């Protein structure tokens, strides 16, 4: 039983004994004592004042006296107005630390055989360009949410839908066909996704030139955009693809294979993976058949031009296009088909889409459409909507080639981590292999932590320079603290100090050490809350608070030079427990921590 449950039971018994009242459990409010007051945890007294028929101060005094007399966990108390501040005994904290130290999976709940299944979709790249900074936030959030849900006992399937067809894909294909001169990843030395992205930018450059030429001849901008030869040729290519034209399909397969090879390298570097990958080219036909079924059910309707629409005005929305007049599908069509296939493939209890907040309306519509098609799980879909990520210079645009490429950014972070670590002397006495490993770990850790520490629902600005700092709320600060603890533990082992056995519960420990134990005990609750809120930021900021508190302890107290052997043993076990929680927490964020630095 955790401390809060112990105290809740004791307060319930106190109120019943003192005032002959069976209070509601949810009336018992227990919270962390504010820093300006003495105590570890605080009981809110006001709900019991009516039963006591006394002032809040008198009620708190009586309950406090009862708790101290009847529960050995509580060593002292004080009352401030209607708040009963409780001091938890040092013995309790020492016993708790021993239990935590012996629990290899503290705070992590492994899924049972009969656990419910959560499918989490993230990444969702287009095969006409490489992954960029926006994709990095998406992938890091998706991966971390999956790890957090597994730590809360869910079975998790991580899935990806690759948008491998459509007009945007044809733009890159057409540009390569017209201007590529047979260029390949091998001949150019470019990663396949970078090469294809290059031709997406080239298409846009030539398309804009055609638009300007048509405008100069008297066309309106809208007319020019629709009648430019390149866009007409791209639309023709899309129709040819949908009609299984052999030449177009061969070009599509070749260029997509380049992209997938590039994506695989990026995902590997980023440390993310998927259990199942779906492809729009394989799901859109299922979506089209569902739209046609919906038309037969009178859930959707066909206009005179042949296009199929859903009228959602009765749901407070507008009309939604599902099939174009030429029979080609839209994103919504594909998402309907993908959703159906996923529920056919897996016994999903909860489906979560990790997609930016610019798609809020899309997922609101998707849930309604699936419901109209008779899928009972339609309205239970979860859109985990997160904010956009920008650079200090502002927004990025793929077609204009102004995005921050994911590969380039990760390499820049690794290089900067190495330079910064060397300047600070943190790589002294490391082998070249260790330097490379640490630079990779710190660079990617800095990137991941900086992005994940922000409330995911908020937009954010990513500043590479701020992220690699060995002080403050950063990944490197946490990583360095872990390495520092491991260094202390290695020195202790080298000196023959055994800190594997139980801690003496008669030790006199400081308030700072007590606070550190109390912070450690909050890890399981933080993991639970992060799962409920779908928020890696809660894990990140908890870890920073734990590490900050440990560094204050490390500064104020001697460990290996302490005279009292029992205290040395306790502080080593305390340090090892902090390191263990830090490692577990950072792994939930997809971040590795170094053993030495």
CA dihedral of 45, 48, 52, 53, whole degrees rounded to 10: 90
Query: What 8-state DSSP symbol labels residue 34?
Result: P
Burial status of residue 84 (CB atoms within 10 A of its CB: 0-12, 13-18, 19 or more) = buried
Interatomic CA distance for residues 366 and 339, integer angstroms: 10
Q: Do the beta carbons of residue 171 and residue 237 sit within 8 Å?
A: no
pLDDT exceeds 60 at position 395 = no
pLDDT exceeds 50 at position 487 = yes
pLDDT at 200: 95
Give percent of the chain with pLDDT exceeding 90: 81
Domains of the chain: 3-88 (3.30.1360.70), 122-390 (3.40.50.620), 406-588 (1.10.730.10)
Of 18-22, 158-162, 499-503, give the lowest mean pLDDT range. Answer: 499-503
Q: What is the mean pLDDT of residues 457-484?
A: 88
Which pLDDT band holds residue 246 (cuts at 50, 70, 90)? very high
pLDDT at 400: 47
pLDDT at 463: 80
In 137-261 the beta strands, taken as DSSP E runs, fall at 155-162
DSSP-derived 3-state class of residue 494 = helix
Strands 41-44, 30-32: pairing is: antiparallel
Structure tokens at 209: 């030139």
Interatomic CA distance for residues 122 and 184, integer angstroms: 29
pLDDT at 403: 66
This prediction has a pTM of 0.90
Which pLDDT band holds residue 431 (cuts at 50, 70, 90)? confident
The number of CA neighbours under 13 Å toward the Cβ of 522 is 20
Q: What is the pLDDT of residues 505-526, one digit of tens each?
A: 888 999 899 999 999 999 999 9
Burial status of residue 10 (CB atoms within 10 A of its CB: 0-12, 13-18, 19 or more) = buried
Between the CA of residue 349 and those of 116, 255, 346, what are the distances in Å? 6, 36, 9
Q: Do the beta carbons of residue 132 and residue 549 sit within 8 Å?
A: no
Q: Do the beta carbons of residue 378 and residue 348 sit within 8 Å?
A: no
Which pLDDT band holds residue 393 (cuts at 50, 70, 90)? low
Of 291-295, 362-366, 422-426, 490-494, give the lowest mean pLDDT range. Answer: 422-426
pLDDT at 527: 98
Q: Residue 156 region, left (φ>0) first, then alpha (ψ -120 to 50), else beta?
A: beta
pLDDT at 398: 42
**148 CB neighbour count, 10 Å cutoff:** 26
pLDDT at 159: 98
More confident call, 257 vs 403:
257
Q: What is the mean pLDDT of residues 470-479?
A: 90
Interatomic CA distance for residues 441 and 483, integer angstroms: 12
């Amino acid at each position: 039983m955790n401390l809060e449950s112990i105290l809740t039971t004791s307060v319930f018994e106190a109120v019943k004994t003192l005032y002959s009242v069976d209070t509601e459990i949810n009336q018992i409010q227990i919270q962390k004592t504010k820093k300006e007051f003495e105590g570890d945890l605080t009981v809110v007294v006001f709900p019991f004042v009516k039963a006591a028929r006394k002032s809040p101060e008198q009620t708190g005094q009586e309950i406090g006296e009862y708790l101290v007399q009847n529960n050995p966990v509580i060593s002292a108390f004080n009352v401030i107005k209607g708040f009963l501040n409780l001091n938890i005994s040092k013995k309790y904290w020492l016993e708790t630390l021993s239990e935590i130290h012996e629990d290899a999976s503290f705070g992590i709940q492994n899924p049972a055989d009969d656990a419910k299944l959560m499918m989490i979709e993230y990444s969702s790249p287009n095969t006409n360009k490489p992954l960029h900074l926006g994709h990095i936030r998406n992938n890091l959030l998706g991966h971390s949410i999956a790890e957090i849900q597994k730590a809360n006992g869910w079975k998790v399937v991580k899935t990806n839908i690759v948008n491998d067809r459509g007009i945007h894909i044809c733009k890159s294909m057409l540009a390569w066909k017209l201007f590529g001169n047979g260029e390949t990843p091998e001949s150019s030395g470019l990663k396949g996704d970078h090469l294809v992205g290059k031709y997406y930018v080239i298409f846009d450059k030539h398309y804009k030139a055609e638009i300007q030429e048509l405008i100069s001849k008297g066309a309106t901008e809208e007319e020019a955009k629709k009648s430019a030869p390149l866009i007409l040729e791209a639309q023709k290519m899309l129709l040819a693809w949908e009609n299984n034209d052999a030449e177009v399909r061969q070009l599509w397969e070749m260029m997509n294979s380049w992209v997938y090879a590039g994506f695989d390298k990026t995902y590997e570097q980023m440390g993310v993976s998927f259990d199942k990958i779906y492809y729009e080219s394989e799901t859109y036909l299922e979506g089209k058949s569902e739209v046609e079924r919906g038309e037969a059910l009178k859930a959707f309707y066909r206009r005179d031009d042949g296009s199929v629409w859903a009228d959602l005005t009765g749901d407070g929305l507008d009309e939604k296009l599902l099939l174009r007049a030429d029979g080609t599908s839209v994103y919504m069509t594909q998402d309907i088909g993908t959703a159906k296939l996923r529920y056919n493939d897996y016994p999903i209890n909860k489906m979560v889409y990790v997609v930016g907040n610019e798609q809020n309306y899309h997922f609101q519509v998707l849930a309604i459409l699936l419901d109209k098609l008779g899928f009972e799980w339609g309205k239970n879909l979860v859109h985990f909507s997160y904010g956009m990520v920008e650079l200090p210079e502002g927004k990025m645009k793929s077609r204009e080639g102004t995005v921050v490429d994911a590969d380039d950014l990760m390499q820049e972070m690794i290089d900067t981590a190495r330079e910064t670590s060397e300047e600070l002397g943190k790589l002294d006495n490391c082998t070249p292999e260790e330097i490379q490993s640490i630079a990779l770990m710190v660079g990617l850790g800095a990137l991941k932590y900086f992005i994940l520490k922000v409330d995911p629902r908020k937009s954010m600005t990513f500043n590479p320079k701020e992220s690699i700092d060995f002080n403050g709320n950063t990944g490197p600060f946490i990583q360095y603290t872990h390495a520092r603890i491991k260094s202390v533990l290695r020195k202790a082992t080298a000196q023959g100090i055994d800190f594997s056995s139980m801690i003496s519960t008669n030790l006199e420990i400081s308030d700072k050490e007590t606070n550190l134990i109390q912070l450690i005990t909050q890890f399981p609750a933080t993991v639970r809350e992060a799962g409920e809120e779908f928020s890696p930021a809660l894990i990140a900021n908890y870890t920073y608070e734990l590490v900050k508190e440990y560094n204050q302890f490390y500064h104020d107290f001697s460990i290996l030079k302490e005279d009292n052997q029992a205290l040395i043993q306790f502080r080593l076990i305390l340090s090892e427990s902090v390191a263990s929680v830090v490692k577990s927490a950072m792994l939930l964020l997809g971040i590795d921590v170094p053993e030495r630095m």
